[in-house]
Amino acid sequence: MEAPVNSPAGAVVRAAVPTDAARVRALLESALDPVDTRDADGLHWVLWQSEEVDGFVAVVDDVVVGVGFGSIGAEDGVASGFVTMLAVHPEYRRRGLGTALLREVEGSLRAHSLPGLWTGGGQPHFWWSGIPASNADAIEFFRNQGYIEEDQTVNMRVDLAAALLDPDPGPAALVHRIGDEEWPAFQHWMERTWEYPWSVEVQRTRERSPTACFVAVRNGEILGFAAYDTNRLGMFGPMGTSPTARGSGLGGELLRCCLRDYVTQGRETCEIGWVGPLGFYQRTVGATVSDRFIRLHKDFSGQVIRP
């Protein structure tokens, strides 16, 4: 571990260690919107359970007042760096702590010879797909640190009471919750069909009870899958169907199976994260756009890389 460094506001910035977990959680509960810390177990998993995550803390009098976590993930199939979490206690903001923590995250990821760093995203381990568009202060902070806006992502929300979730008799006959005995074949299919990072992300569903993943199978051939509660509770995705099965209604039935689970668990809404085909979700379950996120990027070579 590198020696800690002094930083503004009388804090010491050093590498995060597992024994910091409880204090990091307390800091995030003070620094983030309550909706973003509701799934404490999921947040702990994203920040602490992966060898591809580097974390740093800012400490004042043995109290964690700021955190910065970065991860290695995939961007268009190429390994890149991501700011997984950057947060400072409200009483310590605008004192340079965010800048100090970000520099540590950037330095740790530069050491992996990555092409650059993104704000948000970073499958398979991510908490947001970008910076909420409503958070003007955070967006301006990263712009001042040399990051350039590259694209936007959206989440959609489903009102489960209003959504039409009845099974479609045709596709429904092919869809079921995956069993433990099927997992090796399923994982092989995921690696062959979807590769990294989805093949890693769906592994989290095995830790949920019940298993939060459905598959469509015909004559022993896997045709599609849908997962939910992967990184964080209440979030649907990822989902995919084989090219030969698209247009058959399997995607819609896989989605409805997951949402029926939500209803059984007493949930009222579902968030669909990092949506691609907006029209599909709107037509199938009446989903509406709920949040927009801005993704900014810094090219470690000094030149902007377009996604």
pLDDT tens-digit profile of 190-246? 999 997 889 999 999 999 999 999 999 999 999 999 999 999 999 999 999 998 888
Q: How confident is the model at residue 1 (pLDDT cuts 50, 70, 90)?
A: very low
Both 128 and 181 in a single domain? no
CB of 286 closer than 8 Å to CB of 159: yes
Both 94 and 22 in a single domain? yes
Residue range 151-174: mean pLDDT, rounded: 96
Both 73 and 137 in a single domain? yes
pLDDT tens-digit profile of 185-196? 999 999 999 978
Examine residue 238 and say whether the peptide bond preceding it is cis (omega within 30 degrees of 0).
yes
pLDDT tens-digit profile of 99-125? 999 999 999 999 888 999 999 888 888
User: Domain containing 86 — which CATH number?
Assistant: 3.40.630.30
Residues of the domain holding 248: 162-267
Total structural domains in the chain? 2
Both 172 and 238 in a single domain? yes
Both 67 and 172 in a single domain? no
Residue range 261-290: mean pLDDT, rounded: 96
Burial label for 210, CB within 10 Å (0-12, 13-18, 19+), is exposed
Examine residue 4 and say whether the peptide bond preceding it is cis (omega within 30 degrees of 0).
no
